[in-house]
């Protein structure tokens, strides 16, 4: 093989290696940064017709938004208090009234196990579990957490809920 052809092949190989190496080290898009955590507490209480109340379940933790405006993550320690079963948690976005109708986009419904993964501390004294999640939803305005507890009202089974609405600042 002639020297000219060898040099041309070597140059072509060097250019190809340089280009492919450049493609391999191209930067990837950066993930948005996480903002400060917002503390969150939800207490579900049921009021009996006679006026007495009972605490059914509780959730304490935080929610955090990314500065890109399309993701959030959360961690909540959810516990059973005097509820008949462990509380359930619903996570939604874009919640609010549209005219006289409540509207939301449900992302997750968490039914907690009847066994604890966390040792309960006051004000919790029943099963306690930590629920974590990270969700992505384009252009959401808020996150809605709703905690459900249950009890018996005489001989009737009844459910109560309490919620928290956290607005996305991005």
Q: Measure the CA dihedral 148/149/155/156, to 10°.
A: -10
Look up residue 154 and give its two tokens. 């005489």
Q: By the 8 A CB rule, do 106 and 90 touch?
A: yes
One pLDDT digit (tens) per residue for the chain, 170 residues: 555 555 555 555 555 554 455 444 455 555 679 999 999 999 999 999 999 999 999 999 999 999 999 999 999 999 999 999 999 999 999 999 999 999 999 999 999 988 888 888 888 888 999 999 999 999 999 999 999 999 998 889 999 999 999 999 99
pLDDT of residue 120: 84
Element (H, E) at 59: strand 53-66
Instruction: Characterise 93 by phi-psi region: left (phi > 0), alpha (psi -120 to 50), beta (else).
Output: beta
Q: Exposed, middle or buried, 98 (CB in 10 Å: 0-12/13-18/19+)?
A: exposed
pTM of the model: 0.79
| Beta bridge mates, 109 | 90
Domains of the chain plus CATH, in order, are: 34-167 (2.60.40)
Q: Is there a cis peptide before residue 123, judged by omega within 30 degrees of 0? A: yes
């Amino acid at each position: 093989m002639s020297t000219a052809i060898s040099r041309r092949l070597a140059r072509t190989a060097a250019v190809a290696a340089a280009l492919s190496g450049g493609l391999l080290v191209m930067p990837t898009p950066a993930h948005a940064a996480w903002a400060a955590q917002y503390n969150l507490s939800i207490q579900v209480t049921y009021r009996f017709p006679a006026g007495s109340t009972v605490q059914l379940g509780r959730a304490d933790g935080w929610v955090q938004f990314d500065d890109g405006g399309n993701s959030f993550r959360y961690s909540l320690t959810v516990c059973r208090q005097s509820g008949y079963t462990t509380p359930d948690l619903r996570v939604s976005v874009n919640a609010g009234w549209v005219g006289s109708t409540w509207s939301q986009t449900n992302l997750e419904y968490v039914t907690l196990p009847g066994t604890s993964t966390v040792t309960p501390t006051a004000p919790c004294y029943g099963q306690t579990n930590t629920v974590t999640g990270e969700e992505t939803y384009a252009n959401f305005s808020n996150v809605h957490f709703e905690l459900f507890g249950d009890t018996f009202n005489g001989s009737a089974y009844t459910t109560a809920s309490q919620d928290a609405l956290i607005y996305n600042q991005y």
